[in-house]
Amino acid sequence: MALCDLRPAELDSTVAELRQGGGSASGHPLDVTDRAAFVDVVEEIEQRLGGIDLLVNNAGVGYTGVALHETPDADIDWVIDVNLRGVLNGIKAVVPSMVARRHGHVLNVSSMSGLAVPEGIQHGLYGATKAAVVFLSEGLRQDVAPFGVGVSVLCPGYVRSNLPVGIAFDKPSLAKTIMDETPALVVQNKGRVCEIWCKAFALPLHWRKRTFGVCYKTAA
């Protein structure tokens, strides 16, 4: 497994944890918004490990609490660059080799907020980038399916990670609920998680079917 991260300390820590658990992992510092750097890292990985079988475009940043018309230009560029262009950069760097080998799978991480924007947290900019990832994945799947390459898009709700803390930065009680209670909710309800989220967002029935298990898969 080859891991990439902008933060060297967190990258080293994760690689060490995987190795301690008996896994094989290497770490590669990377800013996903840098297309040339992404290509260089992929070349390094493929030289060391061979062709990439699974690309997980997981890098993302949360953004909330600011009205769209008041959002600073620099913040707009930052969120779009990481959440959308970062995914495109990964696709451009990795997928051509998959197509050439007629083998591989791409997993793009979106969000339930990419299907509908929750009320009250000013999530429009983040949701827009994640919605784009959903439709980008649909298009990619059509492009690469004839070459035996699969595409999935994951639309998770709140999970125990550092991202929800940033999303709820001005709502400490919400942050605590997300961090403490969401994992138990997922375990206890399993298949009902999708129904719970769809009801909360007032999504139509066909979206409930598409997001079953909080994972919308575009291809096998």
Q: Which of 63, 126, 158, 216 is catalytic?
A: 126
The token duo for 151 is 């595409």
- State which amino acid sits at residue 73: D
158 catalytically annotated:
no
Q: List the helix and strand counts (H, then E) for the chain.
A: 9, 6
**DSSP string for the chain:** -EEEES-HHHHHHHHHHHHHTT---EEEE--TT-HHHHHHHHHHHHHHH-S-SEEEE-------SS-GGG--HHHHHHHHIIIIIHHHHHHHHHHHHHHHHT--EEEEE--GGGTSPPTTS--HHHHHHHHHHHHHHHHHHHHHGGGT-EEEEE---S-SSSHHHHHTTT-HHHHHHHHHHHHHHHHHHTTHHHHHHHHHHT--HHHHHHTGGGEE-S--
Catalytic residue IDs: 126
